[in-house]
Structures are given as structure tokens and as C-alpha cells.
Chain A
Amino acid sequence: MSKPATPAVATTAPESRPAPFRRLLKRIVGNSGTLVGGGLLLLIVLAALLGPVFYPQDPFAQDVANRIAEPFWNGGPAIHPLGTDTLGRDYLARLLYGGRISLLIGVLAVSMAAAIGVTLGLVAGYFGGRVDLVVRFLITTRLAMPVVLVALSVVATVGNSLTIVILVLGFLIWDRFAVVARTTAMQVRGIDYVKAARAVGSSHARIIFKEILPNISNGLIVVATVELANAILLEAALSFLGLGVQPPLPSWGLMIAEAKDYLFFSPWLITLPGIALVLLVLAINLLGDGVRDITAPSGTR
């Protein structure tokens, strides 16, 4: 005791225990996937949101004299750095605007799916019994429907607007939210703090949303990232098939579809939106994996 403490001992002294926020920060910084994914996603979101401000070319204006202009690395005209498409519209402007559309559809569809799935799952997991039976039936029904086929038939019958694409996707991807919310709510509902909340007189709604939901949000955030990537890819697939976003609105899936006939002579028309799509989905998935690792109970896996 009287001996002066060595530096090694000093660093393990109890007062050096970091506060929870500092610990969380450390975990985030220590997780390179999260940093790369988060950084990339931030970049894409900023480009999509602010790009049109800093790069004020009109994504709809047709420069007929410059149709299928080459990008700058092939010596194209300086006013169109990434060239133009088959109608002579500036490709960089369309990419930036298309990013907005992809993100908008993804975020709105996932928000809708989360609202549906989380509510159903929480209610099923909390009440159990008959309520659970009904929700499980709904989940099974939803899982029995092939997503692309249903989306195709709905859009083919009702017509395709941005709103309809978002609604259709939202109604088709809520199942994972419901499954995860249900199982985790079932685990949490028997814990004493839920009983304490009951004993204090809390309503079921208050318990579900104020006591249980905050404790299962980690898993739901991971599901949200998976579904965001999923929704963006589905939108691209629908647009590629001509049943998603309507031209002249650009979306990355639609741009790929419009460029597929020029694959051999003007390959950048298809590779640029393709790369953008891959990067966006990759960024979201990296971030999702990172969030899962960071919020895992031990913080190690």
C-alpha cells in the first residue's frame, strides 16, 4: 500500500473507468466497418441532398447536340463531366437527382414498414395468446407472398407513381421488423421493470412504447439498415423492369434500365449508376453490421 503505484497499476485504477458515452465512442472508433460505412453513407446522402446546389445542371434539360457525350476521361465536353444520356441529359446531374429518389423511396418505405412491423410485433410479443396468433398468421401470409411478383402485379394494375412504389414496398418488407420486435418483446415483457410499470398503473400502450420499445431498439436499428438496402435494391429492380419510378424522373434502377441497350458502345451509362447503387448498399450494410457489433451486449462480437 505504501509503495508508489506503478504506471500499469495506475491505468487500471477504478476512477479511469470511462463514462458510458465515452465507452460507446471508443467502440465506434474501434470498429472500422462502421466508420467506412457511415462515412460513405454520409457522403452519398450529402451528395444527393446538396449536390444539386453545388452542381446546378438541370437533370431534365436535353442537350440534343450532345447526346451520349463521353465522360471527361474519354475526352468528353467539359460542361458534362460524366457525359450525357441518350437524350442528351447531363449524367452527373441525373445521378445526383437519382440518388435523392433512391434514398427517398428507401427511407420512406422502411419507415412505413417499421411502423407496421414494429407495432404488430410489439403487440404480439407483449400480449401473446390470440393476438400473437393473429399476428403470426399475418407474418406467415406476408412471407408467402413473393415480393417482386406482388409489387409487379400491384404496380401493373394500379399504375406506377412514386407514392405507389413507396406504399407497395412499405407493405411488403415489414415482416422482419415484426419478427424481431415480437421475439424481443416476448423476452422483455416478463422482466420485473415491466411488472413494476404495471403495478404503478401504466397503460398497456405506455408499457409497450415507453418501457419495452426503447429496450429492443438495437435489434430494430439493425433490421432497419438491412431493409433500407433491401428497399433500395427492390426499387431499382422495379424501375429496371419499368414498373418503378416513371421517366423522366431519374432513379438509379431506371438509369440502368435505360442504358442497357448501350452496354457495349457506351458502358459508362450503365456502370456509373451501377457503381453508385453498389456503394450505397455496401455503405448501408457495413453500417448495419457495425451497429450490430457495437450494440452487442459484450461489445466484442
Chain B
Amino acid sequence: MSAAMLDIRDVSKVFPISRGMFRGGAKLTAVGGVSLSVAPGEVLGIVGESGCGKTTLSQIMLGLLPPTTGEVTIDGQPLKSLGRLDIARRVQPIFQDPYSSLNPRQTIQEIVSVPLVVHGIGSSAERAKQAAAMLDLVGLPARFLDRLPSQLSGGQRQRVAIARALILKPRLLICDEPTSALDVSIQAQVLNLLADLRRELGLTFVVISHNLSVVEYFADRIAVMYLGRVVEEGPSAAIFANPHHPYTRALIDSALPIDPGGGIPELGLGQAFPDPINPPPGCAFNPRCPAVRPDCASRMPRLDAQGESRVACLYPLERGAVAAPASA
């Protein structure tokens, strides 16, 4: 096995929550003990419901948020030991909402070439040339260079965001819900663009989504998160063909062919997502689990190897097992 492009070891993030003057502070564990590894050229998909800690994890991977515990390593270098410019040259983000990820006061050229300015690369003429080349790479005409974001559509804006992320030639892209804010008709185009770029530039990706079908599209491996923890992780094909965790199963059953306008799929699990400040005892999924057994509420499952995957379930599903008593 080659050295990992991105390796996160036992990373957790705890936010202190103030609940008014007299109740004292509480602690919210947004990410709890996550270990993941992405090989060069690989695409890791991270899925899970809204609020399960995906964005927090992505910010930790980008060095934007320091983890409470654990370590992130990029290309063999601990993130902690790298300066902000070094991190920026290795990993870049693509955010969910291209309406808020582009500064409305800057022209497209400024937006795309700011990374070069910050890194002191090239003269202003060279930067302009590079910005035009980047626009071409993401399929936008050079005449967009002197437009403002408000003159572009959502899909075009997301392409600009991708151009900005690629101009420093990073090897790793972290995409947090890259298509959730886009029109259904545009989502496939943006995903195709990312897939093309991956092939042309040999990029490594982490793609985050609350919808499995977005990730299924081009992830090699998939990690399923629930309440800040990875509950199942493995090769994409294995996850889809043979999900071991009842939660993964529910996600697969609820996945829609394409995300209808960024909506969150109904999981058919009845209860709502638990309160992350007071997680349920034992397996965090037990109050919603269709295959729950008595000791699920007292014992915490570990992430253990199961076939080609790793799974955190006391009673993992076997091949072909039917988990949910569907609408019975």
C-alpha cells in the first residue's frame, strides 16, 4: 500500500456550548475519534445526515479548524507542522454554496487569481493569463474574467470556485456538498467536471454529501458517518452491494437517483436525529435502529473489520439480510 495522501488519526472536535448564565457550559462532540485514510488518486466519499459532523471534519482536514484530539497528515506531513501557505498548496476546498463562497465585490479574475497573489506567484499579466487558463479548464469563456459573481448562474459560480481551488495546483480537493446548492439539472454537469478534472490532473478527492447517490457517482471508497463517528467504511462497491450497518442500509434505501434540489432524503427511520450534546448511551444509532437488540443501548460498538469494510455495529448485517421491516 502506498503512502496515504491524507491520513487522519483519531480526530475529534468538541465545541464548548454556553447555555446561559446559570446552566453552565455543555460540550458538543461534533466529531468523535474518526480515523480515515485516502490514497493518492483515490476518491473518498463521506456521507451522513445533516448535523453528523461532515463539515466540521472537512474544516479539520483543511487546517481551518484545529482538532481537539488526533492528528491530520497530508502527504506524510503533519498538518500542525505546516504553515498556512504550505497547507494551501497541498489541499483546497470547494464549498457547498457558490453564492456565498465567492466574494461579491471581486471580479472573477480577482477571485481566481487571489491565491497567486497571496503566494506571490507571477506578475499581474502572468496571473491574468493563468486565471484565463483556469477558466478554460473548468469550461468557462475568458470573457467572464471581468464579470462579478452576481452576473453568473449557480453552476458557473461553482466552476469559478473550482478554478480558484485548482490554480495553486493542489493534489487534494475537499468538496463539502459540492452540488447540494445547485439546480438538479446543473448537479450532474458539476460532478462530471470534477470527474474529468480528476482524470486529467490525477487529483485526490474527499467528497462529502448527505446523499449517497452523489457519492456513489465517483467515490472509490465510502465512509458513513453518524453523530460524529464513522459507522461503516469500505470500497464503494462493497458498501452498496453488501451494507453491514443498519444505518448504511437505511441510507441506501433512501438514496434518490439525483438530489432533488438539495433536499434531505427521508430515511424512514421514524425518530429525528439525536441531540449531539446528549448522545444516546451505547451505540448512538440504537434509538432509531430497525434491528436493535437489548444490549445495543449499553455497549459501544468499535469500528472492526467486516469483509472488505470496517463496521461499527454489535450485530452487523449479513449479505442479503433485510434490515428494515419496510413500512410494516
Contact = CB atoms under 8 A, between A and B. Distances in A.
B211 to A, nearest CB: 20
Interface in B63-88: 63-64, 84-85, 87-88
Interface stretch (B24-32, B95-103, B277-285): B95-103
B115 A193 contact: no
Interface in A186-206: 191-193, 195-203, 206
Interface in A16-37: 20
Contact of B150 (A20, A195, A202): A20
Contact of B93 (A199, A203, A206, A214): A199
Contacts of A214: 103, 105-106
Contacts of B85: 201
A202 B87 CA distance: 11
B261 interface: no
A191 B105 contact: no
A50 B115 CA distance: 46
A201 B101 contact: no
A130 to B, nearest CB: 15
A272 B73 CA distance: 74
B100 A200 contact: no
A197 B100 contact: no
Contacts of A199: 62-64, 88, 91-93
A201 B95 contact: no
A200 B87 CA distance: 8
B118 interface: yes
A211 B62 contact: no
B104 interface: yes
Contacts of A197: 103, 114
Contacts of B104: 215
Given A195-B95, A196-B101, A215-B104, A201 B118 contact: yes
Contact of A201 (B84, B105, B164): B84
Nearest to A196: B101
Contacts of B102: 193, 196
Nearest to A201: B88
Nearest to A191: B100
B100 A201 contact: no
B168 interface: yes
Given A20-B150, A196-B161, A202 B64 contact: no
B9 interface: no
Contacts of B150: 20
A202 B95 contact: no
A221 to B, nearest CB: 14
A206 B110 CA distance: 14
Given A193-B103, A215-B103, A200 B148 contact: no
A211 B89 CA distance: 20
A213 to B, nearest CB: 9
B119 interface: yes
B188 to A, nearest CB: 23
Contacts of B88: 199-201
B163 to A, nearest CB: 12
A18 B98 CA distance: 23
Contacts of B151: 20
Contacts of A215: 103-105
Specify which of A20, A199, A202 lies most central, judged by the most chain B CB atoms within 10 Å of its CB.
Answer: A199
B148 A20 contact: yes
B168 A200 contact: yes
Interface in B98-129: 100-106, 114-115, 118-119
Closest 3 CB pairs of A and B: A201-B88, A192-B101, A214-B105
Interface of A: 20, 191-193, 195-203, 206, 211, 214-215
28 contacts: A20-B148, A192-B95, A192-B97, A192-B101, A193-B100, A195-B59, A196-B95, A196-B102, A196-B161, A197-B103, A197-B114, A198-B64, A199-B62, A199-B88, A199-B92, A200-B88, A200-B115, A200-B168, A201-B84, A201-B85, A201-B87, A201-B89, A201-B118, A202-B118, A211-B103, A214-B106, A215-B103, A215-B104
Given A192-B96, A195-B59, 4 more contacts: A192-B100, A200-B168, A201-B85, A201-B118
